[in-house]
Amino acid sequence: MFKKILIANRGEIALRVIRTCKEMGIKTVAVYSEADQNSLPVKIADEAVKIGPAKSTDSYLNYQSILAAAEITNADAIHPGYGFLSENEKFSELCQDHGIKFIGASPEMIHAMGDKSNAKDTMKKAGVPTIPGSDGLLKNIEEGLQIAKKIKYPVILKATAGGGGKGMRIVNSDSEFKDAWEKATIEAKAAFGNDGMYLEKFIEEPRHVEIQIAGDQYGNICHLSERDCSIQRRHQKIIEEVPSPFIDEKIRAKMGEAAIQAGKAINYEGLGTVEFLVDKNKDFYFMEMNTRIQVEHPITEEVIGHDLVMEQVKIAAGIPISGHNYHPNAFAMECRINAEDPFNNFRPSPGIIETLHKPGGYGVRIDSHIYSGYTIPPYYDSMIAKVIVKANSREEVIKKMERALSEFVIEGIKTTTPLLLKILKDPDFVAGNFTTKFMDTFEY
């Protein structure tokens, strides 16, 4: 087992990883930027190393500073959390070169899943359902028009280097194609330095359902059930839950098998998530695979009874997994609280937390790095807390979440809590009747 892990991240996920390391008897090293000197992970880790200025490109994305911090503290592994360097092929490779275990995917895995068209092709060959469309990248507009004629409009152009919605355009007719192509390629070139495009049939009003998988170093792969992440705004998830109100045991088994097939196709090692779109007929299609721990992992922990960060660390240390699949034995939901003003176009609201009361009680878990007197810096992601609840039915989960959110007091800044409370009261949400378009038309 590792003796010392460096956590190459900040905020709630840094704290989350440090907590598990402590329970495992593993020493921890926090790294921090100038803006995070007074952060909770820095106070709680065994050691802390300053890695650079506030700007993430100079600190949390600075490979050399982070590797130097690992070397001077003698860390034998690095946990990257989510975001930042968690799916960075170069960094994963540099860790290897320095003899430091990267608790995440290998450079090869990151590469294989980072190119979306290539990832889709790999999954299609492995027998995982994919959305009809182009066979790999489009050569030109004419080829795109031809395929669109075959699969019929609406279609969607996607940047192969994309993800998170950038470089994507819906096309409804031949006459829109050229303009969509030009806009999407320019956007992709600017954002990713790669304007490769592929084409798919556009699935209207889908659900976003993802399957958590785990693979060990011995070729065992299992699934840990699904998470419904359809409640999103501008590709930022707001509420996630398990079980998905849309998924029954039969589809869960089918999606679980497809996710395992996906993992096996690339000899996946570690924790990963296979994202699917589920259409109104409950047909599901591979969308992307994430090779990191995700923000919403706690809801899975709550319904299967395992610490997923501990599983990641064990897998990285060469300990085999149990090998069987897990089914939800309860209902869990997560609400993400952001330091933003939901009544002012989600304008970021950094600043001092003057008063803080975190909710508690049976079935309520708060994953958060905030404390009374803490100053939320303006430089990073605005998520400041995750409220995770667990109960025996979806109705109870919603009631418990309302109770927990209404107990939460965060004074001094604006938060998205009032918006979350309104969503929980929405009749369609309560009925489990929603798609990824839910937030587009939600009035509050």
Catalytic member of 10, 169, 252, 292? 292
Nearer to ligand MV4, 51 or 156 (CB): 156
- x/- site string to ligand MV4, residues 209 to 248, per CB under 6 A? -----------------------x--x-------------
For 165-196, give the DSSP string: TEEEEEE-SHHHHHHHHHHHHHHHHHHHS---
Nearer to ligand MV4, 216 or 240 (CB): 240
> Cα–chain-centroid distance for residue 123?
20
Nearer to ligand MV4, 81 or 163 (CB): 163
Q: Which residues of 400-433 are buried (b: 16+ CB within 10 A; e: fewer)?
A: bbbebbeebebebbbbbbebbbebbebeebeeee
Where in 242-301 is the site for ligand MV4 (CB under 6 A)? 277, 287-288
**Shortest gap between Cβ of 203 and ligand MV4 (angstroms)?**
4
Residue type at 113? M
Q: How far apart are CA 218 and CA 315, in angstroms?
A: 10
Nearer to ligand MV4, 31 or 131 (CB): 131
Nearer to ligand MV4, 87 or 288 (CB): 288
Contact status, residue 223 vs residue 213, Cβ threshold 8 Å: yes
Residue type at 305? G
Query: Exposed (0-12), middle (13-18) or buried (19+): which is 99, by Cβ within 10 Å?
Result: exposed
- x/- site string to ligand MV4, residues 147 to 186, per CB under 6 A? ---------x------x-x---------------------
Q: Does 203 bind ligand MV4 (CB under 6 A)?
A: yes
Q: Kindly indicate which of the ranges 121-129, 199-207, 313-321, 354-362 contains the residues binding ligand MV4, using the contact rule CB under 6 A.
A: 199-207
Nearer to ligand MV4, 3 or 437 (CB): 437
Take residue 374 and report the two structure tokens written for it: 């803490």
Q: Which residues of 127-143 are buried (b: 16+ CB within 10 A; e: fewer)?
A: ebebbebbeebbeeeee
Is 19 catalytic? The answer is: no
Among residues 206, 215, 342, 363, the one that binds ligand MV4 under rule CB under 6 A? 206
Take residue 97 and report the two structure tokens written for it: 């070169």
> Cα–chain-centroid distance for residue 272?
10
Q: Kindly indicate which of the ranges 196-204, 240-248, 336-344, 426-434 contains the residues binding ligand MV4, using the contact rule CB under 6 A.
A: 196-204
Q: Does 318 bind ligand MV4 (CB under 6 A)?
A: no
DSSP letter at 133 equals B
Tell me the number of residues near ligand MV4 by CB under 6 A: 16
Chain residues binding ligand MV4 by CB under 6 A are 131, 156, 163, 165, 200-203, 206, 208, 232, 235, 277, 287-288, 436
Catalytic residues: 292
